[in-house]
Structure 1
Amino acid sequence: MQRGFRISLAVLAITLLTCGVALAQEVKSQAMPGTDFSKYHTYKWVVVEGAKQPNQITDAQIKQAVESQLASKGLSKVESDPADLYISYQVAVQQQTQWNAYGTGGMRWGGGMGTATQSTINIGTLVLDFYDPATKQLVWTGSATKTLNPSSNQEKNQNNLNKAMAKLLKNYPPK
């Protein structure tokens, strides 16, 4: 009888842990190998052409969450060039296509040749991309899932975004 109770308790504990993990925000990031992140001190927001953008309220919430994390790391936002980094984001409240632009085209910094790759963003995901405007290359990308859950509680939404961006940018710049 006691052995059966222990097994049931163990199964319940594993189930509760699994549920907690399933509901937790997941973050992942990649950095371009060999990039000297110590040279980046300023950033400017840019918009990826063709990417879906949220409403103005959600846009402001996202930027506020990212900007507070970057400020804590010593980066300063500028409104015009020159900027050391161009930063963009894409969101999906449902499954959507993400476009990644590389090369001398695709972003708003001039014409020329370029390539774009396509991937899928899962529900409630925010993808944050950092581009080096001098090389026109993606140098860092990160995504946070279960981050966007539009509800009528704006404070809860902002707290969720703040938590996700702190978690996502915890290891920026990469060591």
Structure 2
Amino acid sequence: MKQLLAASLLVLLSACASSPDYDYDKSVNFTEYKTFAWFPNATLAKGATNYQISELMERRVRQAISDELTAKGMTFTDAANADILVNYHASVESKVDVDTFSTGYSARWDYWGISHNVQTTTREYKVGTLVVDVIDKASNQLVWRAANEGRLKKNQTPEERTAAVQESVAEILSHYPPQAQ
């Protein structure tokens, strides 16, 4: 019984997982890009009000983006010599989940009446969105953008936070470079 419950929960969570949203300029030949650098003043922490967006998280995001692009054959260089500039930013929003369900119906015939019981529960949670932009250095134009959102968890270890960032960045950059369609 426990295995069935665990398997059902896993299937439900998989169905709820969101895939990154991405967009790009179809006129760009992404195979020409070989080097990357950070967009000047790229930062997560500027103006952030959520404690989870910090300089520690910033280093994790930069490392994850750098690792993913390097694995795709790109080379990190200084901004003056880069083909593309990479920018990133994050936001945190509060969301509310509301569930309403019927807990029962009853009818009594010995005296008149029908009852209907309804229960409503609400839960507030935080959702973080990480956005990664790719800017063509020569034209200074945005050529690719992707975002991924996910529920923020509290009380994670540094290792768990690093793994979550690496997974999110890998999902985002799984669509870079875009494949010709």
CA contact (8 A) 2:20 2:171 kept: yes
Q: 1:59 to 1:149 in 2, by over 3 A?
A: farther
Partner Cα distance (2:75, 2:152) in 1: 25
- What's the RMSD between the two structures over aligned residues? 2.8
- Is the Cα–Cα contact under 8 Å of residues 38 and 79 in structure 2 kept in the other structure? no
Note if contact 2:92-2:127 (Cα within 8 Å) is conserved in structure 1. Answer: yes
What is the CA–CA distance in structure 1 between the aligned matches of 2:78 and 2:152, rounded to whole Å? 26
Shift of 1:40: 0.8
Aligned CA distance change for structure 1 residues 155 and 147 (closer, same or farther; 3 Å): farther
Corresponding position: 1:125 with 2:119: no
Kindly provide the amino acid, as one letter, of the partner of residue 15 in structure 2. V
Equivalent AA in structure 2 for residue 31 of structure 1: Y
Quote the Cα distance in structure 2 between the aligned partners of 1:132 and 1:147. Answer: 31
Give runs of ≥4 in structure 1 deviating > 2 Å.
15-22, 51-54, 147-152
Match among 21, 28, 32 for residue 28 of structure 1: 21
Quote how far apart the aligned CAs of 1:79 are.
2.9
Unaligned runs of 5+ in 2: 95-125
Alignment correspondent of 2:76: 77
Work out the CA distance in 2 between the residues paired with 1:150 and 1:40: 38
- Aligned CA distance change for structure 1 residues 80 and 135 (closer, same or farther; 3 Å): closer
TM-score, with length taken from structure 1: 0.67
The alpha-carbon deviation at position 19 of structure 1 amounts to 4.1
- Check 1:150–1:61 CA distance in 2 against 1; reply closer, same or farther (3 A cut): farther
TM-superposed deviation, 1:92: 1.2
CA contact (8 A) 1:42 1:83 kept: yes
Structure with greater Cα Rg: 2
1:66 is aligned to 2:65 = yes
Identity %: 25
